[in-house]
Amino acid sequence: MRVPAAFACGLAQGVSIPLPPLAAQFRPAKLVDPASRVDTGAGPGHREDIDWLRAIAVLAVTGFHFEAPGIFGGFVGVDIFFVISGYLITGIITAEIATGQFSFAQFYERRLRRLLPALYVMVAFAAIPASRDMLSSERAEFFRSAAAVVTFTSNVFFWLQSGYFDHAAVEKPLLHTWSLSVEEQFYLVLPVVVWGVLRIARGRRLALPVTLALLAAGSFALSVALIRGSASVTAFFLSPPRAWEFLLGSLVAISGLPAPRPGLVQRSARALSVVLMAIPILSLRPGSGFPGVNALTPCLGAALFLWSGVGVPNRARSPLSPLSVAAFVGRISYSLYLWHWPLFAFARFAKPGLALDGWERAGLFVLTVAVATLSWRFVEQPFRHRQIVATPRAAFGLAAMASLVLLAGSGVGLLRAGATSDADRAAQRLDAYNNYDMKPVYRYGSCFTTPDGRVPEDCLRPVAGKINVLLWGDSFAAHYYHGLKTHLDPDAVNIMQASQPTCMPTFSAEMQGIAACRALAAQMRDYLATARPDLVVMAADWLEDARPPRFAGMVSDLRLTLAQLRGAGIPVVLLGPAVQFRARLPSMLARATLRGVTPDPAVFVRSDIFALDAAMQAALPSAEGLSYVSVLSAVCDDGGCPLTAGDVPLSFDHAHLTAEGSAHVISKVAPLILPRVTRLSSRQDADDRTHQAGGEGARDD
């Protein structure tokens, strides 16, 4: 496609690109004085309430990542940032185009000064502990991700790595830069779209709003379609399904809606906007249904917040007032966002158990604010106010040189990551279990994790002449299959399996709101209404299912299901909480090996599983038709819970068992299950003898 001469000339020389006279009729609502360059925090057009909104967004994200109590959905802070960006950038572009002052070169120079200095400094500093505290495989990934940051493709880089059992996010210090790449990609497209539409429209005022609205609708539809098509990772990381969030802010900027009337209307709109954002921040859980429809509430809240502040003057406030403090947090929000995640990641790496307690996280937050303030004061501000590299030529030249230096450094880091010591090789062997192929061990795709939630008939087919044991639950049930198969005599026992990720083994699993769980619950209701397994073994991630305040509801659901099974004469063994670790076990073992530290089970294992085990045993005691089996009591002795099975990690993540781990755990648990299986076998033998005697008597007659 041929580039218009005016476009090429303007981009190369930094001159303004004139539009036809009618374009000057387009007058968006005044947002920010262009002289203040949107983000300087000064100037008559600067809106302090946008700093408050930035503070809400960054504190939500930081609170979520630092595991602050109650901030379950703080990740929506990124979506709020996207709306803010679309609002501000679109407002500036349209205002400058309307006055004939727009220049592509000036636009990208401002974006360069705003984004790159603090980002590049963070990446450079993060490379120091990455070279020392990370395994060679992790170092290689770090430097590849650093190269992706420089090329604005880190969202694609992390998208290509994602999966259900992928490495924990906290082992990727630059993971948070995915959102910056999405934003940078948006900045590459939006100015061209706005400029092109206004040039073609020649003064037709609705052309730009209609175009952006159609693009937003298409982007939102794409996001929803991807999520419904089980491609939520694509919807999360890539720009096209995220564009609607920016464009929502853009539409607020150019809508021409009158400012809300001061007083009750304005205050009500502001209050409603805060509620719309607070609900997902405090209640939304991470999952495959995000962004899509679940991102609407925080994005609409952010858009309403922006509109409710139009025309509202700033007020003189005490520097120590809560709103002044919030405004300051908003001003440093970019640096705070940049630094919080690598600081958290490397602080974890310094801990033997790869987990921080509450006081450590609080102290780390204070440190993060201090580092962000220094970054804002001595990196962001000098570049944005042209105290450093005052001219556009110098700014672009320095950006190009810094990008080349970072790319070269990433290449050197990749080369050095290949040089390993004996300790590093031993650590790498353990770390390799982070990429463990669990599919054949868990019967993935057949009796575990199917597209529609239902398992094939082969997974539930009984075998005549054998004891038919049904293993029912989520991935924590599936990880016992290999051990049961190993320790139960295959000539006497047939193991059936019905398991889906996150699905609690109850007939009311639809209460979880997940389509696959509803499908599995319906299938099991129908199946157990007619089938009569000799024994049902139930297991799940009870720690997640009982997360406060859900313990009582979980127990109630289990009791209802157990009562129905008891009424049908089907005996049940309910396996209590599994051994769970504070982080990914292979990573913890690998890092301990790298540092020459003897692993301590008391540090590695989560302590709350023992309290949950006791609470479940009290609420669901063994009774007629039910045997509650404490896995922890069987597996963990006075010396603590096992970390390995031979030389293999017990689990390949925070809890899911390897094949060797499954065999080891079931070797301890099987004696508690076998008496029931033995009784069933004895009963079956007696029944067989009775049938045989009856048959012989009939022949004698």
Do 534 and 622 lie in one domain? The reply is yes
The predicted pLDDT at position 319 comes to 85
Tokens of 304: 């309403």
Which of 384, 419, 454 lies at the terminal end of a domain, its last residue? 419
Which of 389, 419, 449 lies at the terminal end of a domain, its last residue? 419
| Mean pLDDT score, 497-521 | 86
359-376 residue pLDDT tens: 999 999 999 999 999 999
Query: Confidence class of residue 22 from pLDDT cuts 50, 70 and 90?
Result: very low
Q: Closest Cα partner for 652 from 590, 600, 585, 571?
A: 585
Examine residue 367 and state whether it is found in any structural domain, yes or no.
yes
| Mean pLDDT score, 299-307 | 96
The predicted pLDDT at position 39 comes to 37
What is the DSSP-derived secondary structure letter of residue 494?
A: E
Do 293 and 373 lie in one domain? The reply is yes
Percent of the chain with pLDDT over 70: 87
- Please give the model's pTM, rounded to 2 decimal places: 0.75
The predicted pLDDT at position 511 comes to 61
Question: Is the pLDDT confidence value at 3 over 50?
Answer: no
The predicted pLDDT at position 678 comes to 57
Count of residues in the chain: 701
- Which residue did the predictor score with more confidence, 111 or 17? 111
Examine residue 583 and state whether it is found in any structural domain, yes or no.
yes
Do 411 and 445 lie in one domain? The reply is no
> Burial level of 609, CB count in 10 A (0-12/13-18/19+)?
buried
Cα–Cα distance between 186 and 86 in angstroms, integer?
9
Peptide bond preceding 291: is omega within 30 degrees of 0, i.e. cis? yes
Query: Confidence class of residue 30 from pLDDT cuts 50, 70 and 90?
Result: very low
What is the DSSP-derived secondary structure letter of residue 468?
A: E
611-652 residue pLDDT tens: 999 999 999 998 888 999 999 999 998 768 999 999 999 999
H or E element that contains 137 = helix 136-150
| Mean pLDDT score, 277-300 | 90
Apex 588 CA angle, 587 and 594, nearest 5: 85
76-125 residue pLDDT tens: 999 999 999 999 999 999 999 988 899 999 999 999 999 999 999 999 99
The number of C-alpha atoms within 13 Å of 445 and in the hemisphere containing its C-beta is 5
Percent of the chain with pLDDT over 90: 63
Do 410 and 475 lie in one domain? The reply is no
Query: Confidence class of residue 23 from pLDDT cuts 50, 70 and 90?
Result: very low
Question: Is the pLDDT confidence value at 7 over 60?
Answer: no
According to DSSP, the β-strands at 644-645 and 648-649 are: antiparallel
Tokens of 555: 């127990």
Q: In what order do the strands lie in the sheet with 493-499?
A: 493-499, 467-473, 535-539, 572-575, 626-629
| Mean pLDDT score, 30-53 | 58
CB 575 within 8 A of CB 511: no
Do 225 and 278 lie in one domain? The reply is yes
Do 379 and 453 lie in one domain? The reply is no
Examine residue 427 and state whether it is found in any structural domain, yes or no.
no
Average predicted confidence (pLDDT) for the chain: 86
Examine residue 424 and state whether it is found in any structural domain, yes or no.
no
Do 551 and 577 lie in one domain? The reply is yes
Examine residue 663 and state whether it is found in any structural domain, yes or no.
yes
> For the chain, what is the domain count?
2
Cα–Cα distance between 361 and 371 in angstroms, integer?
15
Examine residue 402 and state whether it is found in any structural domain, yes or no.
yes
Cα–Cα distance between 47 and 33 in angstroms, integer?
10
Examine residue 699 and state whether it is found in any structural domain, yes or no.
no
Report the amino acid identity of residue 26: F
What is the DSSP-derived secondary structure letter of residue 581?
A: B
Query: Confidence class of residue 524 from pLDDT cuts 50, 70 and 90?
Result: very high
Which of 394, 419, 444 lies at the terminal end of a domain, its last residue? 419
Tokens of 49: 């309430």
The predicted pLDDT at position 171 comes to 77
Q: What is the CATH number of the domain that holds 545?
A: 3.40.50.1110
DSSP track, 608-676 = HHHHHHHHHHHHS--BTTEEEE-HHHHH-BTTB---EETTEESBSSSSPBPHHHHHHHHHHHHHHHHHH
- Which residue did the predictor score with more confidence, 239 or 199? 239
Question: Is the pLDDT confidence value at 695 over 90?
Answer: no
**Range from 18-22, 73-77, 380-384, 395-399 carrying the lowest mean pLDDT:** 18-22
The predicted pLDDT at position 591 comes to 84
Question: Is the pLDDT confidence value at 576 over 70?
Answer: yes
Q: What phi and psi, each to the nearest 5 degrees, are found at residue 658?
A: -75, 175
The number of C-alpha atoms within 13 Å of 320 and in the hemisphere containing its C-beta is 0
335-368 residue pLDDT tens: 999 999 999 999 988 887 777 888 999 999 999 9
Do 453 and 553 lie in one domain? The reply is yes
Do 58 and 165 lie in one domain? The reply is yes
Phi/psi class of residue 17: alpha, beta or left (left: φ > 0; alpha: ψ in -120 to 50)? Answer: beta
Do 520 and 615 lie in one domain? The reply is yes
| Mean pLDDT score, 421-433 | 84
**Range from 196-205, 398-407, 691-700 carrying the lowest mean pLDDT:** 691-700
Examine residue 696 and state whether it is found in any structural domain, yes or no.
no
Which one of 30-34, 587-591, 627-631 scores highest in mean pLDDT? Answer: 627-631
In terms of residue numbers, what domain contains 140?
Answer: 5-311+320-419
**Range from 127-136, 223-232, 555-564 carrying the lowest mean pLDDT:** 127-136
Question: Is the pLDDT confidence value at 12 over 60?
Answer: no
Tokens of 308: 């409710």
- Which residue did the predictor score with more confidence, 679 or 265? 265
What is the DSSP-derived secondary structure letter of residue 17?
A: -
The predicted pLDDT at position 672 comes to 86
The predicted pLDDT at position 168 comes to 56
Do 475 and 534 lie in one domain? The reply is yes
Q: Which long-range contacts (CB under 8 A, 24 or more apart) does 432-437 make?
A: 432/137, 432/586, 433/585, 433/586, 433/648, 433/649, 433/652, 433/658, 434/167, 434/584, 434/586, 434/587, 434/652, 434/653, 435/167, 436/165, 436/586, 436/652, 436/658
Whole-number Cα distances in Å, 242 to 78, 93, 350: 11, 20, 35
Do 296 and 340 lie in one domain? The reply is yes
Whole-number Cα distances in Å, 270 to 210, 262, 571: 26, 11, 57
The predicted pLDDT at position 329 comes to 96
The number of C-alpha atoms within 13 Å of 310 and in the hemisphere containing its C-beta is 24
The predicted pLDDT at position 262 comes to 84
